[in-house]
Chain A
C-alpha cells in the first residue's frame, strides 16, 4: 500500500489539529489514537510520531499500544469496510465460511485492504447480534445470515465484478 507525500502532509495537519484538544497526559493516549483513527480511518506512521512527541513518550510506546489493541489499524481503510463477525453463535452457524467467501472474492486477508482501496476486510469478536448469525457488518450496517451466495449479492450491490477474482484464480491455478 503506497502513501503519497500529499497524504502524509495532510496526516500531520489533521493529527496536530486533534492534539490541540488534549492535555499532554499519558492517560490520553488511547482517546487520542481513537480520535485520530476516527478522522483518518487508520494510524499512519506520521501520526504516531506526532502523538509520541506530543505526549513526550517513546515512539515505541505508542506503537506497542497500537499493536496491542484490536481496534487500531495500520493500513488505510478501503472505501467500504467489511467486518465478519466470528463470535460464538456466528462461528457455529458458519461465520468462517462467510469469511472464506469474502477472502476468495476480494483476494485479501483480514486486516488488509484491496489494492484499489475499494474494500477492507477484517474480523470482529462479536457485535452482539447473535440472533442474526452469521453476521457481516458492511459499512457499519450489520447484515443478517451472510452465506457465500449473500456475499456475492452484497458485492454485486457495490457493482464489484465478483466473477473477476474467481476467473483470475482459475487461470492461475
Chain B
C-alpha cells in the first residue's frame, strides 16, 4: 500500500518537473537573448519598473525577440536598478544603476549590435575571459549563498522556474520519509531559529509533533518589524516557494493540517507574490488535499499583519491571528503545545523555513559543515547605513564583522571613519571598533551585549551620535510597547525622557546611573522579548561609548554634531564667497541673508531649523558653513 503511494508521489511530481524543465529550457535554449530586471521593492524604489518599460519599448521598436523577466532582489541594493542580459556567445552580464536611457542603449548597443557596454557592467555571472565575474570579486570568498541563491535569478511569480531549479524535490523526498525521520534530521542538523533568539528548530518541531491535540498549525513568521532589516521581505518577494516548501515539509513532520503565513502589510509586494505563489502551488496539488496523491493534506492562508512590532513575538502573533490586539502571553505553555485556538502551533521565521528544503536535500552533515560548532549554517544580514555596498549578505556563521563590513561592504563611504555597527535592531546593540573581529554567531553577539536579532546591520560613522541612536531605538520600543507590563510601558518612557534630556543638553551626571538602573529593572520586569531587550541599545552604547554620554552631560556638547539642540549653524565670513547666493536660495525657511555692507551671508539663529541644507548647498571650494557645538557665535 505504502509502496503504491510512494510510486504515485514520484510519478506525479516527475510529470510536473518534466514540464517545468521544458519551459525553463525553452527560455534559455531558444537562441534569443533574455533580459532580467530586479523588481523587488528596493529595485522599484530606484526606478526598476521604468527600466522594464524602457527595455520592452526599445525591444519592440527594434523588432527584436527578447523576453523581459522580472526577478527578485540579487542583494546588490547599492547598484539598483539591476539588469541581467543573457545572450549567446557572451556570459550573462549584470548591469548596475540602469536608468531608462541606459536601458535603451543596452538594447541597441548590446542586444542588437554586440557591444556589451562595459561602462555600465557590474559583473558577469559566469567566469569568462572578457568581463570579471562575481565569483572573482573579493567578497565572493566570504559569501556563501544558500537561501539567497535563487533570489534575483528566477521569476518569483513563475513556479516552473523554481521547480526547474530543484524546487519541491525535497518535498517529494520528505513525503517518502517517516515524519520522525525528518524531525530528527532537522534536529541533528543543528539549525537554530533565525528570528533572533536562536532556539533549536528541531527541538521545537519535536515538541510540536509529540503534542496532543488536533488540528495542528504551522505559522511562518514574516512580521519583520525591525527598522533597518529587510531580509525576510527580500526572500518572500524573490523566492516565495522556498518558504512554502519549507512550511509543507514542516507540516508533514509535525502532522499539521493548517498553515498561515504572517506578512507585514507594509510589504504589499511580498503579500502579492506570496499569494500568487500559493495559488500556483495549489494548482499543481503541492498544497491542498492529498498532496501529490499522498495521504497528507495541508493548505496555507496568508495573513497580513497590521503594523505592530510586538507581533514578531510568537504569542502576540497568535493573538493577532485570532483577531485580538497583539499582546504577548506568559510562556509556558509554549505555542508548540498550546498555540492558535489552544491547538499545537509551530512558529518559525521565514529564513528558518527557507533552510528546510536544503537540509532535507543535502543532509545534516552538509549543513553542520557550514558555520560554527554551536551555530550551524549561514547568517543573512541586511547591510545598510554608512557603508559603500549596502544590500543583502549571506555568510557562514563565524565570519567576522570586519569581513562583512569592510571586505563585503567595502567599508565607509566618503573617507569617513567607522564608529559603530548596530546589529539586531531595537533589541540589539551598538558594537564598537574593538568588537569588529568578533566571529558572528548567536553566542558571541549575545556576550558582546547585542544579539543576532533578525539580521539588520546598520553601520554608523563619525558623524553619528551614539546617544541619539540609543534615544532613537528607545523611542521606537517605547512607542511599540504593548503596555501589558508596567516596567516596559513606564520604564521605557522614563528612560526615553532621560535620554531626551541628555540630547537636549539638560542631562545631569546622575542620569547615567538612573539609565543603568532602569535598564536592569525593565529587563527583569518584562514578560516578552520586546521588554527584555529594549534597553540593549542604551546598555551597549553606555558600555562602549560612555565618554560620549559624558560629553553631552558635562560639556553640553555633541561630539558628532548631530543633536540639534546642541549645535548651531554658522557661515564663516572669511570663507564665504559673498557674491554667491546658493545658501540663500536653498534655505527652506529663509533664514539666510546677506550682510548689508560686506555681503557675506548670515544665518538668523531664530529662524534656522538646523536642517543642514545649506551645508550641502555651499559649493565645496568655499565650504563656508560650519556647525558649532556647544552653540556659539562666529566672529563676524
A, B co-complexed: yes
* Residue in chain B with minimal CB distance to A27: B323
Beta-carbon contact of A26 and B323 below 8 Å = yes
Q: Report B390-405 residues with CB < 8 Å from chain A CB.
A: 390-391
Query: Does B227 touch A at the CB level, under 8 Å?
Result: yes
Beta-carbon contact of B390 and A130 below 8 Å = yes
Beta-carbon contact of B611 and A97 below 8 Å = yes
Q: Mark B589-602, 1 if CB is under 8 A from A, else 0.
A: 11000000000000
Q: Which of A1-9, A11-19, A82-90, A111-119 contacts B (4 or more CB under 8 A)?
A: A82-90
Beta-carbon contact of A147 and B616 below 8 Å = yes
Total residues of chain B contacting the partner, CB 8 A: 58
Total residues of chain A contacting the partner, CB 8 A: 46
Complex: A126 Cα to B232 Cα, angstroms? 13
Beta-carbon contact of A26 and B476 below 8 Å = no
Query: Does B80 touch A at the CB level, under 8 Å?
Result: yes
Query: Does B609 touch A at the CB level, under 8 Å?
Result: yes
Residues of A within 8 A of B586 (CB): 149
Query: Does A142 touch B at the CB level, under 8 Å?
Result: yes
Beta-carbon contact of B590 and A166 below 8 Å = yes
Residues of A within 8 A of B322 (CB): 26-27
Partner of B612, one of A94, A124, A127, A151: A94
* Residue in chain B with minimal CB distance to A92: B464
Complex: A100 Cα to B588 Cα, angstroms? 11
Query: Given A88-B472, A91-B472, A166-B590, does the pair A129, B42 have CB atoms closer than 8 Å?
Result: yes
Residues of B within 8 A of A148 (CB): 588, 609, 611, 613
Query: Does B411 touch A at the CB level, under 8 Å?
Result: no
Choose among A33, A131, A142, A144 the residue with the greatest number of B CB atoms under 10 Å from its CB. Answer: A131
* Residue in chain B with minimal CB distance to A62: B323
Partner of A131, one of B42, B323, B613: B42
Query: Does B77 touch A at the CB level, under 8 Å?
Result: yes
Query: Does B44 touch A at the CB level, under 8 Å?
Result: yes
Complex: A72 Cα to B305 Cα, angstroms? 11
Beta-carbon contact of A88 and B227 below 8 Å = yes
What is the minimal beta-carbon distance from A136 to any residue of chain B, in angstroms?
11
What is the minimal beta-carbon distance from B581 to any residue of chain A, in angstroms?
14
Residues of A within 8 A of B304 (CB): 30-31, 34
Query: Given A126-B227, A126-B228, does the pair A104, B589 have CB atoms closer than 8 Å?
Result: yes
Query: Does B320 touch A at the CB level, under 8 Å?
Result: yes
Beta-carbon contact of B306 and A71 below 8 Å = yes
Q: Mark A130-145, 1 if CB is under 8 A from B, else 0.
A: 1111010000001010
Complex: A87 Cα to B225 Cα, angstroms? 10
Query: Does B229 touch A at the CB level, under 8 Å?
Result: yes
Beta-carbon contact of B323 and A88 below 8 Å = no
Beta-carbon contact of A147 and B611 below 8 Å = yes
What is the minimal beta-carbon distance from B634 to any residue of chain A, in angstroms?
22
Beta-carbon contact of A128 and B41 below 8 Å = yes
Partner of A88, one of B78, B233, B422, B609: B422
Beta-carbon contact of B323 and A70 below 8 Å = no
Query: Does A40 touch B at the CB level, under 8 Å?
Result: no
Complex: A166 Cα to B385 Cα, angstroms? 32
What is the minimal beta-carbon distance from A55 to any residue of chain B, in angstroms?
8
Complex: A144 Cα to B473 Cα, angstroms? 23
Choose among A25, A65, A91, A101 the residue with the greatest number of B CB atoms under 10 Å from its CB. Answer: A91
Partner of B306, one of A34, A129, A152: A34
Beta-carbon contact of B456 and A88 below 8 Å = yes
Query: Does A106 touch B at the CB level, under 8 Å?
Result: no
Partner of A68, one of B266, B308, B382, B611: B308
What is the minimal beta-carbon distance from B586 to any residue of chain A, in angstroms?
6
Q: Mark B69-97, 1 if CB is under 8 A from A, else 0.
A: 00000000110100000000000000000
Residues of B within 8 A of A166 (CB): 589-590
Beta-carbon contact of B384 and A89 below 8 Å = yes
Q: Report A13-72 residues with CB < 8 Å from chain B CB.
A: 25-31, 33-34, 64-65, 68-72
A residues touching B (Cβ–Cβ < 8 Å)?
A: 25-31, 33-34, 64-65, 68-72, 86-89, 91-92, 94, 97, 100-101, 104, 124-133, 135, 142, 144, 147-149, 151-152, 166
**Given contact pairs A31-B303, A71-B306, A130-B228, a sample of 4 additional A-B residue pairs in the complex whose CB atoms are under 8 Å apart:** A65-B323, A65-B324, A88-B384, A148-B613
Q: Kindly list the 8 A-B residue pairs having the minimum CB-CB distance in the complex, ordered from nearest.
A: A70-B307, A29-B323, A130-B384, A88-B228, A128-B230, A87-B227, A68-B325, A71-B306
